[in-house]
C-alpha cells in the first residue's frame, strides 16, 4: 500500500531544460531528468521574468509546452524550470467571493499591483496567507480517517467550510493531534499518521491538480432531483437536475450571457462558480460590478458570498482559457466534497475549444472536423463527466451541476463543439436567433430544446401543453401560406392559445423584479391555471374577436406575472382572467 501523496511523488523530479523552439505560445524544450504530462514549468526570459507553462506533449527527449502568457522575447536557448508539480489549484477557506483568472491568480489584487494592464509573469497566491480562520475540530485523537473525511471546520461567510484529509492521501490514517484555534491557511491544524507510523501535517489549505477529478466519495448517484433555476421554460419544460449537465448553445447575441447570469443569481444551489472564458472584458467587468450589489434572495446577503468567478477575457492569452474551465470544475468538486450543491456555469465553451484548436494546429496534429483536434469529443465529454451528484463517505450528498454555453459560428448547431456537447449533456436549451430578434426572452426554442431530466411538474401535463404549442406553431406556419381566411376557427384558436402560452409562460421579463425569477411553487400554481385555460374549449364568432380576446388576456396574465405571488392584486388579476375565459367557454 502506498501512502505517498500525488504531488509528493512528482516533486522529487523538478529539473531544468532549454528552449529549442518557440512558435507563438507553444514551446519545444529539451530536458535532463524525466518530466510528466501536465507538469507546470516556467520559461525564463533574459530579464528573469518567469512565464507559467504546462507540458502538453512529450516526444522522446522533447517536451512541448503551452505558455499561459504572451511569449514575446522568449528565444531558443532560454531556460525552462520544470517544477515537478502538476497544474494545481489551492483549496481552502477564502475562495468564495474571489475573482480569479484561469490560473487562480486573484484578479483584483493582481490589478492593484500591476495596474489595469496586467504584467506578464506576475503570479499571486490564491488564498490570503495572513487571514486567520477559527478552526473547530470534529474528530478526536485516535479517530480513523481517509482522504476527503472531515477533521473539523472553519466558518467561511455563510458556510461551514470543512477541513478534510488531503485528497491525494491513500489508505487510512489516525489522528495524532488536533486542536481548536485561529490559524492561517498554511498553519498545521492536525497531525495524522499512516499505518506505518509516518506523520502528515494537515493544514487548512491543500492543493489539487486541476485535470484530475476529486473522487473521495462513496458512490455516484443518478441525478433525479429538480434544480430550480426560476426560469419557467427551463424548470417546467426542459428541467435540469442537481448533478446534471446541460448546455445552452446560441448564436451571437441571442442572450446566452444574460440567461446565464439570471441562472447564477436565482438557481437554488449553495454555491455558484462562473467560469467566464474568452468573453469580452466589458461583459466580465459588468458581472464583477453587478454581483456584489445583488442580494441573494435566499440569504438576504450579498450574492458574492456564495459566488466564485473565474475569468479569462478575450484579451487574455488563449491557453489560459483551457486552464479556467478545469480550475472552475476543480473548485466545484471541492465544495461538493463538503456536501454542498454547486452550480458551475461556463461561458463560452466554444472559446475554450478554439484554444484547443489553436494549440492542436501548432502541435501539427492530424486535424478532425473543422480543424478541431480529433480528440475534441473526448475532451468535452471528460469535462462534463466531472458533473454529478455523489454520496459522500459520511452519507451526505453533494452535487456539481454543469451548464455550458456554446457559441457556434453563425448559430449553426451542426458544428463539432455543439455536436460533441449534445452527446454528453442531459438537457439542451437551444437559443434561437428568430426568438431573440422577436425579443421573446429567454430565447430558448421551445420546439428544438429537450431534457432527459425530471421536472417539477407532471410530465404528462407538460407534454400535453407542449403539444398545443407545437400544433399551434404548425397552424401559424400554415397561416403564412394560406392566410387567416383559409384557416378554420378551431385552428385559429389553437394558434392563439400557443401564442398565449408563449407570451405569458415561456417568456419572462428579465428586467422586472418579480417576473425575472419565478419560484417553484408559483410555477406549479400558474402552470395549472394556464393548463386549465388551454384545455378549455372557447368559441368566437369572428377571428378578430378571438384575436382581441387573447390579446387582452395576454396583457392581464403578464400583469399577473409581475405582481407578488398570492397578493391581493395577484388574486384579483387571477379572477379577472378566469372570468374572462368563462365568458367565452363553450356551453358556459
Ligand X SMILES: Nc1ncnc2c1ncn2[C@@H]1O[C@H](COP(=O)(O)OP(=O)(O)OP(=O)(O)O)[C@@H](O)[C@H]1O
Q: With CB under 6 A, what is the number of residues at the site for ligand X?
A: 12
Whether the bond between 348 and the residue before it is cis, its omega within 30 degrees of 0, is yes
User: CA–CA separation, 322 vs 352, rounded Å?
Assistant: 6
CA distances from 173 to 2, 20, 163 (A): 12, 46, 15
Compare residues 232 and 497 and give the one whose CB is closer to ligand X.
Answer: 232
**What does 168 bind: ligand X, Mg ion, none (CB cut-off 5 to 8 Å by kind)?**
none
DSSP 237: I
Quick one: which of 53, 407, 462, 487 contacts ligand X (CB under 6 A)?
Answer: 407
User: CA–CA separation, 524 vs 278, rounded Å?
Assistant: 38
CA distances from 151 to 130, 170, 180, 436 (A): 22, 16, 11, 51
Ranked by CB distance to Mg ion, the top (closest) residue is: 257
Phi and psi (nearest 5°) for 32? -95, -60
Quick one: which of 92, 148, 388, 442 contacts ligand X (CB under 6 A)?
Answer: 442
180 by Cβ neighbours in 10 Å (0-12 / 13-18 / 19+) ranks as: exposed
Report 183-242 residues binding ligand X (CB under 6 A): none
User: CA–CA separation, 55 vs 312, rounded Å?
Assistant: 20
Q: Which three cell numbers stand for residue 362?
A: 501548432
Coil/strand/helix, residue 327: helix
**What does 253 bind: Mg ion, ligand X, none (CB cut-off 5 to 8 Å by kind)?**
ligand X
Q: How far is the CB of 275 from Mg ion (least distance, A)?
A: 13
Angle between helices 376-384 and 349-362 (to 10 degrees): 140
How many Cβ atoms are within 10 Å of 385's Cβ, its own excluded?
Answer: 14
**How do strand 388-392 and strand 397-406 relate by DSSP bridges?**
antiparallel
Cβ atoms of 560 and 581 closer than 8 Å: no
Quick one: which of 20, 218, 258, 379 contacts ligand X (CB under 6 A)?
Answer: 258
**What does 252 bind: Mg ion, ligand X, none (CB cut-off 5 to 8 Å by kind)?**
ligand X
* Buried/exposed code over 79-97 (b: 16+ C-beta within 10 A; e: otherwise): ebbbbbbbbbbbbbbbbbb
* Stretch in the footprint of ligand X (CB under 6 A) among 186-194, 248-256, 372-380, 477-485: 248-256
Q: How far is the CB of 441 from ligand X (least distance, A)?
A: 3
User: CA–CA separation, 328 vs 309, rounded Å?
Assistant: 8
**What does 510 bind: Mg ion, ligand X, none (CB cut-off 5 to 8 Å by kind)?**
ligand X
Cβ atoms of 103 and 54 closer than 8 Å: no
Q: How far is the CB of 369 from ligand X (least distance, A)?
A: 22
Compare residues 241 and 508 and give the one whose CB is closer to ligand X.
Answer: 508
Q: How far is the CB of 233 from ligand X (least distance, A)?
A: 11
Compare residues 336 and 351 and give the one whose CB is closer to ligand X.
Answer: 351
User: CA–CA separation, 189 vs 150, rounded Å?
Assistant: 12
Q: Which three cell numbers stand for residue 507?
A: 417568456
User: CA–CA separation, 495 vs 175, rounded Å?
Assistant: 69
25 by Cβ neighbours in 10 Å (0-12 / 13-18 / 19+) ranks as: buried
**What does 250 bind: Mg ion, ligand X, none (CB cut-off 5 to 8 Å by kind)?**
ligand X
* Stretch in the footprint of Mg ion (CB under 5 A) among 236-244, 255-263, 426-434, 475-483: 255-263
**What does 278 bind: ligand X, Mg ion, none (CB cut-off 5 to 8 Å by kind)?**
none
Q: Output Rg (C-alpha) for the chain, integer angstroms.
A: 27
* Stretch in the footprint of Mg ion (CB under 5 A) among 148-156, 217-225, 249-257, 435-443: 249-257
Q: How far is the CB of 347 from ligand X (least distance, A)?
A: 7
Q: Say whether residue 252 binds ligand X (CB under 6 A).
A: yes
Quick one: which of 84, 255, 388, 430 contacts ligand X (CB under 6 A)?
Answer: 255
Long-range contacts of 294-297 (CB under 8 A, 24+ apart): 294/265, 297/266, 297/517
Total length of the chain: 588
Cβ atoms of 90 and 104 closer than 8 Å: yes
Ranked by CB distance to ligand X, the top (closest) residue is: 255
Compare residues 139 and 353 and give the one whose CB is closer to Mg ion.
Answer: 353
Compare residues 52 and 351 and give the one whose CB is closer to Mg ion.
Answer: 351
Phi and psi (nearest 5°) for 294? -80, 145
**What does 87 bind: ligand X, Mg ion, none (CB cut-off 5 to 8 Å by kind)?**
none
Q: Say whether residue 5 binds Mg ion (CB under 5 A).
A: no
Q: With CB under 5 A, what is the number of residues at the site for Mg ion?
A: 2
Reported as half-sphere exposure (CB side, CA atoms, 13 A), residue 371 has a value of: 10
Quick one: which of 256, 321, 386, 440 contacts ligand X (CB under 6 A)?
Answer: 256
Report 493-552 residues binding ligand X (CB under 6 A): 510
Q: How far is the CB of 260 from Mg ion (least distance, A)?
A: 8
Of the candidates 502, 522, 512, the one whose C-alpha atom is nearest the C-alpha of residue 570 is: 522
* Stretch in the footprint of ligand X (CB under 6 A) among 22-30, 215-223, 246-254, 452-460: 246-254
**What does 445 bind: ligand X, Mg ion, none (CB cut-off 5 to 8 Å by kind)?**
none
Compare residues 120 and 256 and give the one whose CB is closer to Mg ion.
Answer: 256
Q: Say whether residue 261 binds Mg ion (CB under 5 A).
A: no
Compare residues 206 and 260 and give the one whose CB is closer to ligand X.
Answer: 260
**How do strand 15-23 and strand 26-31 relate by DSSP bridges?**
antiparallel
Q: Say whether residue 257 binds Mg ion (CB under 5 A).
A: yes
Cα separation of the two ends of the chain = 79
Cβ atoms of 399 and 337 closer than 8 Å: no
* Stretch in the footprint of ligand X (CB under 6 A) among 26-34, 210-218, 256-264, 447-455: 256-264
**What does 124 bind: Mg ion, ligand X, none (CB cut-off 5 to 8 Å by kind)?**
none
Q: Say whether residue 88 binds ligand X (CB under 6 A).
A: no
**What does 476 bind: ligand X, Mg ion, none (CB cut-off 5 to 8 Å by kind)?**
none
**What does 384 bind: ligand X, Mg ion, none (CB cut-off 5 to 8 Å by kind)?**
none
Q: How far is the CB of 308 from ligand X (least distance, A)?
A: 20
* Stretch in the footprint of ligand X (CB under 6 A) among 111-119, 250-258, 418-426, 561-569: 250-258
The residues of the shown chain that bind ligand X, judged by CB under 6 A, are 250, 252-258, 407, 441-442, 510
Give the interface with Mg ion as residue ranges (CB under 5 A): 256-257
Amino acid at each position: 500500500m502506498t501512502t505517498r501523496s500525488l504531488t509528493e511523488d512528482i516533486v522529487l523530479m523538478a529539473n531544468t531544460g532549454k528552449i529549442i523552439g518557440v512558435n507563438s505560445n507553444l514551446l519545444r524544450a529539451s530536458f535532463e531528468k524525466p518530466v510528466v504530462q501536465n507538469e507546470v514549468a516556467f520559461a525564463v526570459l533574459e530579464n528573469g521574468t518567469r512565464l507559467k507553462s504546462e507540458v502538453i506533449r512529450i516526444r522522446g527527449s522533447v517536451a512541448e509546452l503551452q505558455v499561459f502568457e504572451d511569449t514575446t522575447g522568449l528565444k531558443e536557448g532560454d531556460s525552462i524550470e520544470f517544477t515537478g508539480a502538476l497544474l494545481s489549484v489551492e483549496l481552502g477557506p477564502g475562495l468564495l467571493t474571489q475573482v480569479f483568472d484561469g490560473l487562480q491568480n486573484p484578479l483584483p489584487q493582481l490589478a492593484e499591483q500591476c495596474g489595469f494592464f496586467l504584467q506578464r509573469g506576475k503570479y499571486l497566491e490564491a488564498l490570503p496567507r495572513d487571514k486567520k480562520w477559527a478552526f473547530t475540530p470534529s474528530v478526536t485523537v485516535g479517530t480513523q480517517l481517509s482522504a476527503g473525511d472531515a477533521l473539523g471546520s472553519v466558518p467561511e461567510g455563510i458556510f461551514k467550510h470543512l477541513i478534510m484529509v488531503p485528497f491525494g492521501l491513500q489508505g487510512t490514517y489516525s489522528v495524532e493531534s488536533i486542536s481548536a484555534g485561529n490559524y492561517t491557511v498554511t498553519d498545521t491544524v492536525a497531525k495524522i499518521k499512516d499505518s506505518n507510523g509516518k506523520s502528515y501535517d494537515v493544514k487548512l489549505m491543500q492543493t489539487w491538480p486541476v485535470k484530475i477529478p476529486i473522487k473521495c466519495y462513496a458512490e455516484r448517484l443518478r441525478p433525479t432531483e429538480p434544480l430550480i433555476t426560476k426560469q419557467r421554460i427551463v424548470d417546467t419544460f426542459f428541467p435540469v437536475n442537481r448533478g446534471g449537465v446541460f448546455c445552452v448553445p446560441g448564436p451571437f447575441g441571442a442572450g446566452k450571457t444574460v440567461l446565464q447570469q439570471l441562472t447564477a443569481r436565482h438557481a437554488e444551489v449553495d454555491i455558484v462558480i462562473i467560469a467566464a472564458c474568452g468573453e469580452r472584458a466589458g461583459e466580465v467587468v459588468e458581472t464583477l460590478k453587478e454581483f456584489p450589489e445583488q442580494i441573494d434572495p435566499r440569504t438576504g446577503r450579498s450574492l458574492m458570498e456564495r459566488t466564485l468567478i473565474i475569468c479569462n477575457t478575450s484579451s487574455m492569452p488563449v491557453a489560459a482559457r483551457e486552464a479556467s474551465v478545469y480550475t472552475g470544475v476543480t473548485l466545484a468538486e471541492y465544495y461538493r466534497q463538503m456536501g454542498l450543491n454547486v452550480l458551475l456555469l461556463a461561458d463560452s465553451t466554444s472559446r475554450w475549444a478554439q484554444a484547443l484548436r489553436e494549440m492542436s494546429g501548432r502541435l501539427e496534429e492530424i486535424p478532425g472536423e473543422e480543424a478541431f483536434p480529433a480528440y475534441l469529443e473526448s475532451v468535452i465529454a471528460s469535462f462534463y463527466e466531472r458533473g454529478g451528484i455523489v454520496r459522500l463517505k459520511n452519507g451526505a450528498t453533494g452535487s456539481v451541476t454543469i451548464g455550458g454555453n456554446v457559441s457556434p459560428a453563425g448559430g449553426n448547431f451542426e458544428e463539432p463543439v455543439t455536436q460533441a456537447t449534445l452527446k454528453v449533456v442531459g438537457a439542451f436549451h437551444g437559443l434561437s436567433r428568430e426568438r431573440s430578434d422577436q425579443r421573446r426572452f429567454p430565447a430558448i426554442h421551445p420546439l428544438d430544446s429537450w431534457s432527459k431530466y425530471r421536472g417539477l411538474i407532471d410530465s404528462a401535463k407538460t407534454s400535453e401543453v407542449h403539444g398545443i404549442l407545437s400544433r399551434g406553431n404548425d397552424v401559424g406556419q400554415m397561416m403564412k401560406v394560406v392566410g387567416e381566411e383559409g384557416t378554420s376557427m378551431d385552428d385559429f384558436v389553437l394558434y392563439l392559445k400557443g401564442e398565449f402560452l408563449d407570451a405569458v409562460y415561456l417568456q419572462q421579463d428579465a428586467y422586472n423584479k418579480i417576473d425575472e425569477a419565478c419560484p417553484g411553487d408559483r410555477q406549479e400554481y400558474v402552470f395549472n391555471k394556464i393548463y386549465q385555460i388551454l384545455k378549455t374549449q372557447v368559441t368566437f364568432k369572428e377571428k378578430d374577436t378571438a384575436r382581441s380576446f387573447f390579446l387582452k388576456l395576454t396583457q392581464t396574465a403578464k400583469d399577473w406575472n409581475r405582481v407578488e405571488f398570492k397578493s391581493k392584486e395577484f388574486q384579483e388579476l387571477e379572477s379577472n382572467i378566469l372570468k374572462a375565459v368563462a365568458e367565452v367557454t363553450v356551453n358556459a
